[in-house]
Structure 1
Amino acid sequence: MKQALDCFNELGVEATTIDTIKARCETSVGAIYHHFGNKEGILSALFFAAQDDQRQHLEQELAKTDSLRDAVYSIVSSYLDWVVAHPSWARFLFQARSSVSKGPFHQELKARNAKNYQELKEKLLSFEYKDTKIVQPFEILSSLIVGPSENYCRAWLAHRVQTSPSDYRDEFAESAWRSLQR
């Protein structure tokens, strides 16, 4: 899988072929088709593996929270830390999302995203807000929480900025927290 990931990251999703992956993995076309079906199967398997790993990291961090503010900080921190720890996977997620969402595994992606969204929504809504009025509708919360961090991570992964995203964990988390309050 690492070799296929490297192919997609080095050549791009469109330019990567089964033959390229076959050569890099030193395997047969038959073995690839047997395990993955086609290029889209490889792409989706990698995408879902990265997404699952990122989600597992988030869940571990959220399990430690006991307030909405802590949860927001954990969401931002876990996202930044995961990207820094797994830059190849993060780069791949950014570039492959569109292809997976338009490909034969789009329904699986849609179902996974809906499940993850619902679980996160339930977690965030489980906290007492006390005096804090939270921005509504809920569907914009994930963009408010992770949007700026994601934008910075894309720049970092593209080498347009040099400072590690983790170095700005507190700034992004506090900004996310403030963006949710009315």
Structure 2
Amino acid sequence: MPKQQRGEATVEQVLDAALGLYASSGEAGLTLGAITSASGVSSGSIYHHFGSLDGVVAALALGALEQLLKELGTALLQAADARSGIRAVVLAYLDFVQARPDAARLIHSVTADRLGMAHAREIRDTQEARLTPITLWIHAHQESGELAALSAPLIESLAMGPVVAVVRRWLTVGDVDLEEAARELPDHIWRSVGK
């Protein structure tokens, strides 16, 4: 196997092991020793590929975020109109969370928040390919008169803010019914962004 492929395999091995540890033990389980034991990858190799333990966590969170954005973008771009697009993106987010609660917990964790705040511009730049079609979709539906004439970041915040809040509450307190959220949120969000 060529060196680059071995490196990619090592990275995947470490990330798979780290996600398993996170799923079973939370952030406290993400220690260098636990990751080396679970992955079979040496600490030197982990440092080589990730720079630090924080680098492993950041790569894990970014990978989960990338998957979420891919699913949201796909759902949004397949919608026939703006209202069905808002519905599709809300439902795709809730489906992602139910299908991958550990990845969702990581995306919404304090550690991911800290990394996000410290590296927001850099993260947005790395996700540009996923975000640009969403921004273009927003502009196209504003030009057609379906979406409110607000900035794209404000539309994104109004559309996703309630979903993120519901998901965080479901992940932490557990007193939110995601089926109710799927029934109710799309129309309430639509009223805040639609025309």
CA deviations over 1:22-67 (Å, ceiling 9, x no partner): 2333432123123322212212221221111111211221232121
Structure 1 residue ranges without an equivalent (≥5)? none
1:168 and 2:181 aligned: yes
Q: Is residue 70–residue 130 contact of structure 2 (8 Å, CA) maintained in 1?
A: no
Q: Is residue 73–residue 134 contact of structure 2 (8 Å, CA) maintained in 1?
A: no
Q: Which residue of 2 aligns with 1:101?
A: 116
User: Scaled by the length of structure 1, what TM-score is found?
Assistant: 0.81
Q: Which residue of 2 aligns with 1:92?
A: 106
Aligned 1:37-76 pairs, distance under 5 A = 37-76=51-90
Greater helix proportion? 2
| Paired residues, number | 179
Q: Displacement of 1:4 after TM fit?
A: 0.9
| CA distance in structure 2 between the aligned counterparts of 1:84 and 1:54, rounded to whole angstroms | 12
RMSD: 2.7
| CA distance in structure 1 between the aligned counterparts of 2:93 and 2:183, rounded to whole angstroms | 12
Q: Is residue 81–residue 166 contact of structure 1 (8 Å, CA) maintained in 2?
A: no
| CA distance in structure 2 between the aligned counterparts of 1:135 and 1:70, rounded to whole angstroms | 18
Q: Which has the higher contact order (CA 8 A, sep 6+)?
A: 1
| CA distance in structure 2 between the aligned counterparts of 1:57 and 1:133, rounded to whole angstroms | 21
Distance 1:74-1:155 versus aligned 2 partners, 3 A rule? same
**What is the identity, as a one-letter code, of the residue corresponding to 2:157?**
S
**What is the identity, as a one-letter code, of the residue corresponding to 2:141?**
F
User: Scaled by the length of structure 2, what TM-score is found?
Assistant: 0.77
Aligned 1:122-137 pairs, distance under 5 A = 122-127=136-141, 132=146, 134=148, 136-137=150-151
Q: Displacement of 1:148 after TM fit?
A: 1.5
Secondary structure (helix, strand or coil) at the match of 1:66 reads coil
Structure 2 residue ranges without an equivalent (≥5)? 1-14
